[in-house]
């Protein structure tokens, strides 16, 4: 296998552009070249100069999530704490902080931030995702069903997160022992989305495995086979 080509110097495409644009290009080069840790460093350095550049903030978060580093969640919260004064009550940032704090089991603070975000942007999927986790981790399954069920009433089935939110809703119903409803959610919101992306496949497999553990069904849904 040929080694990946390394970006040893700035791309000529960066010539003649502003510092902000050049740093975007340099971060993208590291990502494309397969240098995730160098890309993390470039993104973080860029945010010191341009803290409200949410594009690279989002990219830094994605890279950090997949980095495998032991303290990546703490690193993410620390960075967001540094940037908080620059974003104020921006709904995107509140949503991002809410989800990050939930990952560190700071559930009440995460809930407050997510609720603030939803006041400013009721369709913030990231804030809803944070709330789904908070409800589950605090074992408030009835609250989770009420919240997600209501929010998803007019949520487009073609939306990228529809399958994953259906999975979260199914987990709450599974915990409540509503097995028929779980199967219904699988068939209408999860299994039907299997051709969409890897997350859909992960959610489908996860839910079917949990159903087996719970003893929720005697047979798999149509078209599926359980491993023995």
pLDDT digits (tens, 9 = 90+) for 23-82: 999 999 999 999 999 999 999 999 999 999 999 999 999 999 888 888 999 999 999 999
Spatial distance between the Cα atoms of 150 and 122, rounded to a whole number of angstroms: 12
Q: What is the pLDDT of residue 200?
A: 87
Residue 225's φ and ψ, nearest 5 degrees, are -130, 130
Q: What is the pLDDT of residue 17?
A: 76
Q: What is the pLDDT of residue 14?
A: 60
| First CA to last CA distance, the chain | 37
Tokens for 108, please give them. Answer: 């009440």
Q: What is the pLDDT of residue 133?
A: 98
Tokens for 207, please give them. Answer: 């839910």
Dihedral sign for Cα atoms in the order 127, 129, 130, 136: positive
- Residue 121, pLDDT > 80, answer yes
Q: What is the pLDDT of residue 51?
A: 96
Spatial distance between the Cα atoms of 168 and 131, rounded to a whole number of angstroms: 10
Residue 81: how many other CB atoms lie within 10 Å: 12
Q: How far is CA 181 from CA 152, 166, 173, 175, 187, in A?
A: 15, 11, 7, 11, 10
- Residue 223, pLDDT > 90, answer no
The model's pTM: 0.85
* pLDDT tens by residue, 65-119: 888 888 999 999 999 999 999 999 999 999 999 999 999 999 999 999 999 999 9
């Amino acid at each position: 296998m040929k080694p990946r080509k390394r970006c040893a110097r700035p791309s000529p495409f960066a010539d003649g552009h502003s510092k902000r644009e050049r740093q975007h290009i340099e971060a993208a080069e590291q990502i494309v070249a397969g240098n995730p840790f160098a890309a993390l460093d470039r993104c973080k350095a860029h945010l010191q100069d341009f803290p409200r550049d949410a594009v690279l903030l989002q990219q830094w978060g994605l890279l950090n999530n997949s980095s495998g580093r032991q303290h990546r969640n703490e690193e993410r919260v620390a960075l967001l704490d540094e940037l908080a004064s620059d974003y104020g009550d921006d709904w995107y940032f509140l949503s991002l902080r809410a989800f990050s704090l939930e990952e560190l089991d700071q559930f009440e603070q995460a809930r407050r931030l997510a609720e603030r975000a939803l006041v400013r942007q009721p369709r913030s999927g990231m804030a809803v995702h944070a709330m789904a986790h908070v409800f589950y981790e605090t074992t408030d399954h009835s609250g989770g069903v009420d919240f997600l069920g209501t929010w998803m009433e007019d949520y487009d089935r073609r939306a990228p997160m529809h399958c994953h939110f259906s999975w979260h809703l199914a987990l709450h119903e599974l915990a409540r022992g509503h097995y028929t409803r779980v199967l219904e959610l699988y068939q209408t919101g999860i299994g039907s989305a299997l051709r969409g992306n890897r997350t859909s496949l992960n959610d489908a497999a996860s839910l079917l495995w949990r159903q087996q553990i719970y003893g929720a069904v005697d047979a798999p849904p149509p078209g599926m086979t359980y491993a023995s």
